[in-house]
Amino acid sequence: GTMSTGQRQRVKLAQALAHDPKLVLLDEPTDGLDPVQRDAMLELIHRIGHEFQITVLLSSHLLEEVERICDAAVILSGGVVAASGSLEELRGAGEGVAVEFDGDHSLVVDTLNQIHATGAQIRQEGRGFVITGDDQLATTVRDAIAHSGVGLRRLGRRTVSLEEVFLGVGAGADPTKDPRLSGQLPPPPNARDLPPPPSAGSQGASF
């Protein structure tokens, strides 16, 4: 009988492994597969790399799949390497602290100025801010908040996805000018630029 797309893909993969290679090249291995078949294929590829110690070079436009099974990635833009490294390295440059304040605007600005004075970078995101900096960032933010006495609605870790990294460098953008990668973020905004304080009936802080 006729094999399904998933069966054909598994046969091709078996053929590639028949001679016990050290390196396997896979081009869009989940293309045309349904969700169940895709999940099975990704699990198989993961096992090949980790249980059989075979290096797998995977070409894919589905970045969530890359994040799921790959240890490192190379992002190409126009045939040129735009970024490369472990997933931790690629995403780590954009990691920081996400904070949403609940208090007087002057206290918010004072807090942001204290944080910015340490060399940390700040950008507004929605009703809050994303702060990036050195290894002492969490302590810096905590101390500034404690010193100013500003209220908090939300405080937590901010991570970036591989898709965000790709959008920053993969579509022809200059990675040195992308705030998620370069850390070159604008100074804290003035009080008049801050979002209005939340209404009294809005949801409380979560930590």
Structure tokens at 99: 């904070």
Residue 174 in this model has a pLDDT that exceeds 60: no
Task: Please report the DSSP string for 27-77 in residue order.
Answer: ESTTTT--HHHHHHHHHHHHHHHHHS--EEEEE-S-HHHHHHH-SEEEEEE
Does this model's pTM top 0.85? My answer is: no
83-135 pLDDT, tens digit each: 888 988 887 766 788 899 987 888 899 999 999 998 888 888 888 898 888 87
For residues 31, 35, 37, 38, the Cα torsion angle rounded to the nearest 10 degrees is 50
Per-residue pLDDT, averaged over 153-163, amounts to 83
Residues 5/32, Cβ–Cβ less than 8 Å: yes
Per-residue pLDDT, averaged over 186-195, amounts to 46
Amino acid identity, position 86: S
Q: Which domains does the chain have, with CATH numbers?
A: 5-70 (3.40.50.300), 91-193 (3.30.70)
Residues 41/33, Cβ–Cβ less than 8 Å: yes
67-97 pLDDT, tens digit each: 999 999 998 888 888 888 898 888 776 678 8
